[in-house]
A and B are shown apart, each in its own frame.
Chain A
């Protein structure tokens, strides 16, 4: 479904160039949940933004991004719009500025439906209600404004928005950041169920290795803009090969130890 071939992204910062991604090749198959894991500065967010064509103009991209077999690097916004929302959709961090503060949740979910699917206001409204039910919020949330929702509710609304045009693949960016463990577990369960029932693929960007191991089947570890290891989630604890992955796992296992 999504394939990256030798993808590099460089930013110019003053008179220096910074490599955000260097020669990354990976496949995000449909019907599977893949974790893109790394610490701050590893390039994981750049990777997602590159797939969606949302990098800032000064970013220089080399390599290929294949969506349904079509190379989308440099094809421009209007050509990319054939894929965005309807084939690949972003689940933004609900905790952050994913929503326009002056529009109701319902209006914001309906907008891509009207723009990308060409549905009438009424049809888009009905579809929005169905989506709000599907993510466990219910129709009555349509009239609420973003600040009236809790962090967990906003993350559910962010998922409803991503699902609005029935995409085949979701890119979830830190979907549980700033949520407590209980709400996080509920969102994890919702994402798992949604992907299973809709037979979608999903990539989850996170710095949280235990979260990725609980949510994803395959884990891709990024470090300093390079893909250093791809492994089944079940192999993380005992079978990681790359020193970077092992260091991350070791840090976690140290936290697992009780106080001496």
Chain B
């Protein structure tokens, strides 16, 4: 099947007042229609940058990105827009993502009107309402309200989801899509994503929560300091992690009836090739060499000399 997204050896570097920050250091990622991939890691691991790079929103310092088989860099503006319209991005911060003066219904209608023309207002409104229902906002009295005034964070986040799905994207990129939801609603959002994936949408889900990753995506890619350290079916990442960092993520996760275990503290050690060596309880002399992501059993990849 043709590929929706193909990222090869991508490097992204940010230049700031405090010097340069290598946000991504050579990551590969692939996604086909009907596949779901969770990108997992802590704050600063490069998850969101990878998502943004996938859509060409940050330029790579090295490597390349192909969306629907095309390299965005070489395309004319119209062609690029054509491809980006087949993608939906649900950003992490719902407060900055929707124009605050729009009503809830208008926020979801906006992308539809831009594509279908303002003559199709009625049809766009009906479609927006269907999307709002799909995203767990069936209360019609809310649809006329301004996004900025009367919505909770969780409601805004669902508006963002509906808006990102307005054009029935073939590729959906969701950045912590349940972070502001009460537990009772998290499952609903996962169901929306699930049903779309089962009808062929490709999903990239960014999260620090391995439980959400396991629930909503089949494959997981674990990032640490801009490097992919493990790739495996999400169920294995949680229940049988191979990389020590993945194991630390699993132990730190709050779960009913289990202790929350903090990771080991970082030790000062310079010049090690493995990015996780300073926090790793298993680190040894061989970790001076940076490990590469290797397939250790079918479908399981890990970058660790000790795994």
Cα distance, A3 to B253, chains bound together (Å)? 32
CA distance A257 to B187 in the complex (A): 11
Q: Is B209 an interface residue (CB 8 A)?
A: yes
Once A182-B42, A184-B252 are accepted as A-B contacts, the answer to whether A40 and B182 lie under 8 Å apart by CB is yes
A214 to B259, CA, bound (A): 5
- Name the A residues within 8 Å of B260 (CB-CB): 184-185, 188-189, 211, 214-215
Partner of A182, one of B187, B216, B252: B252
Q: In the complex, what residues of A have CB within 8 A of residue B214's CB?
A: 258-259
Segment touching B, from A51-59, A100-108, A154-162, A247-255: A247-255
Query: Taking CB as reference atom, which chain B residue is nearest A176?
Result: B254
Residues in chain B near residue A249, CB distance under 8 A: 256
B290 within 8 A of A: no
- Chain B 186-210 interface 0/1 with A at a Cβ cutoff of 8 Å (1 = within): 1100100010000000000000111
Count A/B pairs, Cβ under 8 Å: 107
Contact in complex: A209, B256 (CB < 8 Å):
yes
Decide yes or no whether A256 CB sits under 8 A from chain B: yes
Does A181 reach chain B (CB closer than 8 Å)?
A: yes
* In the complex, chain B residues 231-253 whose Cβ is within 8 Å of any chain A Cβ: 234-235, 248-249, 251-253
Q: Which residues of A contact B267 (CB under 8 A)?
A: none
Closest to A186 in B: B262
State how many angstroms separate the Cβ of B46 from the closest Cβ of chain A.
13
Interface size on A, residues (CB 8 A): 37
Q: Which residue of B lies closest to A253 (CB)?
A: B256
Asked if B249 and A182 make an inter-chain contact with CB atoms under 8 angstroms apart, the answer reads: yes
A255-B186 in contact (CB<8A): yes
A257 adjacent to B254 (CB under 8 Å)? no
Given A184-B252, A185-B252, answer yes or no on A251-B184 (Cβ-Cβ < 8 Å): yes
- Write the B255-267 contact mask toward A (1 if CB under 8 angstroms, else 0): 1111111110000
CB B47 to nearest CB in A, in angstroms, measures 10
**A183-B42, A185-B263, A210-B256 known; A251-B217 Cβ under 8 A:** no
B-side contacts of A175, CB under 8 Å:
none
B248 touches A182 (CB 8 A): yes
Given the known interface contacts A40-B182, A254-B187, A259-B214, the answer about A211 and B254 at a Cβ–Cβ threshold of 8 Å is: yes
Which residue among A181, A188, A207, A213 has the maximum number of chain B CB atoms within 10 Å of its CB? Answer: A181
**Chain A residue nearest in CB terms to B256:** A237
Chain B: number of interface residues, binned into ranges? 35 or more
A255 to B256, CA, bound (A): 11
Q: B208 to A181, Cβ gap below 8 A?
A: yes
Chain A CB within 8 A of B211 CB = yes
Of the candidates A180, A186, A236, A255, which one forms a contact with B183 in the assembled complex, judged by CB atoms under 8 Å apart? Answer: A255
A134 at the interface (CB under 8 A from B): no
**B306 interfacial contact with A, CB 8 Å:** no
A209 touches B258 (CB 8 A): no
- Name the residue on B nearest A150 (C-beta): B43
A217 to B265, CA, bound (A): 26
Chain B hits for A207, CB < 8 A? 182-183
How far apart are the CA atoms of A211 and B209 in the complex, in Å?
13
A183 to B258, CA, bound (A): 17
B12 at the interface (CB under 8 A from A): no
Q: Could you tell me if A181 and B257 are in contact, using CB atoms closer than 8 angstroms?
A: no
> How far apart are the CA atoms of A182 and B276 in the complex, in Å?
14
Assembly CA distance A254 to B257 (angstroms): 15
Q: Does A151 contact B (CB under 8 A)?
A: yes
**Chain A residue with minimal CB distance to B198?**
A260
Instruction: Say whether B215 faces chain A, with CB atoms less than 8 Å apart.
Output: yes
> Given A39-B182, A215-B260, A255-B183, A181–B253 Cβ distance below 8 Å?
yes
Q: Is A5 an interface position by the 8 A CB rule?
A: no
Chosen A-B contacts, 22 in total, with CB atoms closer than 8 Å, are A40-B154, A151-B43, A179-B43, A180-B42, A181-B252, A181-B253, A184-B254, A184-B260, A186-B263, A208-B183, A210-B253, A210-B255, A210-B256, A211-B254, A213-B257, A214-B258, A214-B260, A248-B184, A252-B183, A252-B256, A255-B190, A256-B215
**Chain B residues within CB distance 8 Å of chain A:** 42-43, 152, 154, 182-184, 186-187, 190, 194, 208-212, 214-218, 234-235, 248-249, 251-263
Q: List the 8 shortest-distance A-B pairs measured between CB atoms, nearest first.
A: A185-B252, A210-B254, A214-B260, A39-B182, A180-B208, A185-B262, A189-B262, A211-B254
